[in-house]
């Protein structure tokens, strides 16, 4: 296996508030990546918990290995668009991360659609959280409001922003895995396998999961671990997920696509 790109890694979401030096976070991310056999790391913030400037300083530690995405609450859109352009054009970040649950917005909000259109103009991919779990159990204690964003809202976005490469994180989880496979038949929709690949494989089995991947096409899946530095338990961690992908009954080209080639193409990551 030539290399592995993890497209879904978070620094501790309270690091900036606690005054942790971003260089220390960057060095810990590099240590973690090396220990898990990962060659490139996409660092995802979630605004307002972590600023884009903080991500930029983390990435500065090793820009060849660490790839930063931007994040901002997408409404009001004028403020969000201004920050998005600054993060991409001035700071050099490579994509946008949105988390409707933790950022408290609805995907049907026209402000969100306008931000997505600007992402399309900037030719950057957008990673959107797509997992139905109780976020309030996490340490940052966001209110859980599952009724705000429905499956239909996610299905609508490829029509609203056909020019944007949408990466739906977690593949919809156990509740909506098959439905998200259907949404991903749109040419601009991709799925990051993070976390859910473990729970789904346990539920339906490795053979069936591989069949679904082949049916949709391996070019639609990206490896992401959803690691939160210092918080993710080992049994759900990156190494476990990588080993699972390597054990799936797929051919070598399909594994290569999931583990790094798709990320290189979609996020425009040059090979080292």
* C-alpha count within 13 angstroms, C-beta hemisphere, residue 256: 6
Task: Tell me if residue 2 falls in helix, strand or coil.
Answer: coil
pLDDT truncated to tens, each residue of the chain (272 aa)? 479 999 999 999 899 999 999 999 999 999 999 999 999 999 999 999 999 999 999 999 999 999 999 999 999 999 999 999 999 999 999 999 999 988 889 999 999 999 999 999 999 999 999 998 655 445 444 555 544 789 999 999 999 999 999 999 999 999 999 999 999 999 999 999 999 999 999 999 999 999 999 999 999 999 999 999 888 888 889 999 999 999 999 999 999 999 999 999 999 987 76
The Cα 4–Cα 73 span in angstroms is 30
**CA 196 from centre of chain:** 12
- Determine if the pTM surpasses 0.85: yes
Closest to 220 in 3D by CA, of 246, 272, 183? 183
Q: Where are the domains of the chain?
A: 5-266
Q: Residue 257: CA atoms inside 13 Å, Cβ hemisphere, count? A: 14
Fold (topology level) of 5-266: TIM Barrel (3.20.20)
∠ CA(52), CA(87), CA(55), 5° rounding? Answer: 30
Decide if 46 contacts 13 (C-beta within 8 A). Answer: yes
The pairing of strands 5-10 and 227-228 is parallel
Cα–Cα distance, 246 to 150 (Å, whole number):
33
Determine the Cα–Cα distance for residues 115 and 107; give it in Å rounded to an integer: 11
């Amino acid at each position: 296996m030539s290399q592995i790109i993890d497209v879904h890694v978070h620094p501790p979401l309270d690091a900036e508030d606690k005054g942790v030096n971003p260089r220390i976070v960057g060095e810990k991310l590099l240590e973690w990546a090396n220990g898990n056999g990962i060659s490139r790391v996409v660092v995802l913030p979630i605004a307002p918990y972590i600023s884009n400037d903080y991500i930029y300083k983390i990435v500065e530690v090793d820009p060849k290995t660490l790839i930063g995405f931007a994040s901002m609450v997408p409404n009001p859109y004028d403020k969000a668009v201004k920050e998005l352009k600054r993060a991409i054009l001035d700071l050099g970040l490579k994509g946008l991360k949105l988390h409707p649950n933790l950022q408290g917005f609805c995907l049907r909000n026209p402000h969100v659609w306008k931000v997505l259109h600007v992402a399309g103009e900037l030719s950057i991919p957008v990673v959107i959280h797509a997992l139905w779990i109780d976020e309030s159990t996490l340490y940052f204690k966001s209110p859980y409001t599952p009724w705000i964003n429905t499956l239909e809202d996610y299905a609508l976005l490829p029509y609203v922003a056909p020019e944007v490469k949408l990466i739906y994180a977690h593949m919809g989880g156990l509740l909506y895995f098959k439905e998200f496979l259907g949404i991903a038949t749109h040419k601009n929709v991709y799925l990051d396998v993070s976390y859910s690949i473990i729970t789904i494989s346990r539920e339906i089995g490795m053979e069936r999961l591989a069949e679904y991947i082949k049916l949709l096409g391996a070019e639609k899946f990206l490896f992401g671990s959803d690691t939160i530095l210092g918080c993710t338990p080992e049994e759900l961690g990156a190494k476990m997920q990588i080993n699972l992908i390597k054990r799936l009954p797929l051919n070598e080209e399909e594994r290569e696509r999931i583990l790094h080639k798709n990320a290189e193409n979609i996020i425009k990551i040059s090979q080292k």
